[in-house]
Amino acid sequence: DIQMTQSPSSVSASVGDRVTITCRASQGINSWLAWYQQKPGKAPKLLLYAASSLQSGVPSRFSGSGSGTDFTLTISSLQPEDFATYYCQQANSFPPTFGQGTKVEIK
Amino acid sequence: QVQLVESGGGVVQPGGSQRLSCAASGFSFSNYAMYWVRQAPGKGLEWVAVISYDGSNTYYADSVKGRFTISRDNSKNTLYLQMNSLRAEDTAVYHCARVSVGFCVITSCSYFDYWGQGALVTVSS
Q: pLDDT band for position B102 (50/70/90)?
A: confident
pLDDT tens digit sequence for B38-70: 999 989 999 999 999 999 999 999 999 999 999
Q: Do A98 and B115 touch (CB under 8 A)?
A: no
Tell me what the pLDDT averaged over chain B comes to.
96
- Residue B1, judged by CB atoms within 10 A of its CB (0-12, 13-18, 19+), counts as exposed
Q: Which residues of B touch A97 (CB under 8 A)?
A: 47
Q: Do A87 and B44 touch (CB under 8 A)?
A: yes
A46, A97, A101: residue with CB nearest B111: A46
DSSP state of B54: T
Alpha helices, DSSP H, located in B1-125:
none
Percent of chain B surpassing pLDDT 70 = 100
On the question of pLDDT at A107 being above 90, the answer is no
DSSP state of A96: P
Q: pLDDT band for position B114 (50/70/90)?
A: very high
Q: pLDDT band for position B106 (50/70/90)?
A: confident
- By CA distance, what is A92's nearest residue in B? B108
pLDDT confidence of residue B109: 82
Q: Where are the beta strands (DSSP E) in chain B?
A: 3-7, 10-12, 18-25, 34-39, 45-51, 58-60, 68-73, 78-83, 92-99, 112-115, 119-123
Tell me whether B59 touches chain A (CB under 8 Å).
yes
- By CA distance, what is B40's nearest residue in A? A100
Name which of B65, B82, B72, B37 is nearest B51 in CA terms. Answer: B72
Interface test with A, best of B36, B111, B114, B115 (most A CBs within 10 A): B111
